[in-house]
Amino acid sequence: MKSIALLHSTIRGDEKLILEAARRKDVDMKIIDVRTEVLDPYRYEADFDLVLERCISTVKGTHATRFYEAIGIPVINSGTVAAICEDKFLTSLTLLKHKVPTVEFVMVFSLEQALKAIRDMGGFPVIFKPSLGSWGRLLSKVNDIDALETVIEHKDVLGSPQQKAFYIQRYVEKPGRDIRSFVVDGKAICAIYRDSPHWITNTARGGKASNCPITKDLSKISRQASDAVGGGILAMDIFETEEGLKINEINHTMEFKNSEAPTGVSISGAIVDYCIQTLKKL
Ligand SMILES: Nc1ncnc2c1ncn2[C@@H]1O[C@H](COP(=O)(O)OP(=O)(O)OP(=O)(O)O)[C@@H](O)[C@H]1O
Ligand SMILES: [Mg+2]
C-alpha cells in the first residue's frame, strides 16, 4: 500500500492536527524529522511514496524537497511552487505575469533608485520587506525620506547580502484588517479576517482572527493565484482595496491551527484529503 510521509523540523500544533486528521481517516502517515535525515542519494531507502513538507525551516524544507523530487518522490508543495512562494519578489513577478491583481512592487539596489521608484509609485509611505521572510519580521513602513535613508543605511551596513536587495511595496490602506484564504488544489476552502489596530495584522503579531466568508471574488482571486504559482496547499494574504481584492503574498507551508475554530473548517482534514488524492494519482 502507498503511504505518505510528513516531513517536519518540529511537531507544532499544526502538524498534530494533520496527524490526527490522518488517524481519523485511517491514513498511514509516517513522521520524519528532517534534522535526523541523511539525504544521501546513493543509499536513501524510502518506505513512502509522497512527502508532505511541513518544515518550519525554509532552508531545510527546500533542500529536502529538492532531494526527494530528485530521487523520484513527489513533494507537496512541489519545489517549483515553494521556490516561487518563499521569495516575495518572485511571487509578485509571477502574479503580475499571470495578471493576478497584486500589490504594486519594485526591486532596487540603492538609495537613489529607491527614491526614484517611490516617486514613480506615487510617493510615501511604502513598505520594505525582506524578499525571503515571514511572521512579519523586519517589515518597515517608510513614511518619508529620512526614514528611507535610515532603513537603507542599516541594511547596507548591518545586513546580509540578501538584505541589500530592496523589495519595496506600495503601502495599502486597509480597513484595519487583511484576509488570509486557505487554498487547497485551487479551491478557497475557508478564510479569516485578521483585525489589528497595527498596520501589521499577522496573528503572530497579535492580529485577531475571525471567519471571513468565501465570496465569489475571494474564490476567484484565490484560484487565479494558485494557478499562477503552480497549485498545491497555500495560504494567501489578501488586501481589500478600492480597486478590489489584491494578493499581498502566498505562503507554501502555512500555519493554520488557530483558523480551524473561527472558520469551523477542518483545514487539516482538507490537507490530508489532498494528499490522498495525490497519492491515488501516482
Ligand atoms: N504593502 C502593504 N501595505 C499595507 N500593509 C501591509 C503591506 N505589506 C504587509 N502589510 C501588513 O503586514 C503583514 C505582514 O506582511 P507579509 O505577509 O508580507 O509578511 P510576512 O513576514 O510574510 O508574514 P507571514 O509570513 O506571517 O504571512 C500583512 O499581513 C499586512 O497586515
Ligand atoms: Mg503574510
Q: Does 131 lie in the same domain as 9?
A: no
Residue the block writes with cell 494557478: 227
Q: Does 90 lie in the same domain as 183?
A: yes
pLDDT at 206: 83
CATH code of residue 146 = 3.30.1490.20
Ligand nearest to the CA of 142: 1
**What's the domain range around 110?**
105-170
Given 140, 170, 200, which residue is the final one in a domain?
A: 170
pLDDT at 106: 98
Residue 264 falls within a domain, yes or no? Answer: no
CATH code of residue 64 = 3.40.50.20
Separation in Å, CA 264 to CA 125, 186, 213, 252: 37, 20, 11, 22
- 125 Cβ inside 6 Å of ligand 1: no
Residue 12 falls within a domain, yes or no? Answer: yes
- 127 Cβ inside 6 Å of ligand 1: yes
- 251 Cβ inside 6 Å of ligand 1: yes
Given 119, 154, 170, which residue is the final one in a domain?
A: 170
Q: Does 215 lie in the same domain as 96?
A: yes
Residue 223 falls within a domain, yes or no? Answer: yes
Residue 127 falls within a domain, yes or no? Answer: yes
- DSSP character string of 211-266: E----HHHHHHHHHHHHHHT-SEEEEEEEEETTEEEEEEEESS---TTTHHHH---
CA angle 111, 113, 115 (to 5 degrees): 70
Ligand nearest to the CA of 205: 1
pLDDT at 204: 79
Residue 70 falls within a domain, yes or no? Answer: yes
Average pLDDT of each block of 10 consecutive residues along the chain (282 residues)? 95 98 97 98 97 96 98 98 97 98 97 98 96 82 98 93 94 96 98 95 87 98 98 98 97 96 98 97 94
CA of 238 to the centre of ligand 2 (A): 9
pLDDT at 205: 80
Task: Please classify residue 105 by burial: count the beta carbons closer than 10 Å to its beta carbon, then call 0-12 exposed, 13-18 middle and 19+ buried.
Answer: buried
Q: Which ligand 1 atom lies nearest to the CA of residue 126?
A: 1
Cα separation, 73 vs 70, whole angstroms: 7
Question: pTM (2 decimals)?
Answer: 0.96
Are 136 and 88 in contact, with CB atoms under 8 Å apart?
Answer: no
Q: Does 191 lie in the same domain as 92?
A: yes
Are 23 and 30 in contact, with CB atoms under 8 Å apart?
Answer: no
Q: Does 65 lie in the same domain as 10?
A: yes
Q: Does 242 lie in the same domain as 203?
A: yes
Q: Does 92 lie in the same domain as 204?
A: yes
Task: Give 120's contacts (C-beta < 8 A, 6+ positions apart).
Answer: 106
Total domains, the chain: 3
pLDDT at 75: 98
Ligand 1 mutation target, pool 106, 121, 127, 205, most atoms within 8 A of CB: 127
CA of 50 to the centre of ligand 1 (A): 31
pLDDT at 187: 98
Of the candidates 212, 180, 179, 183, which has an alpha carbon nearest to the alpha carbon of residue 270? 183
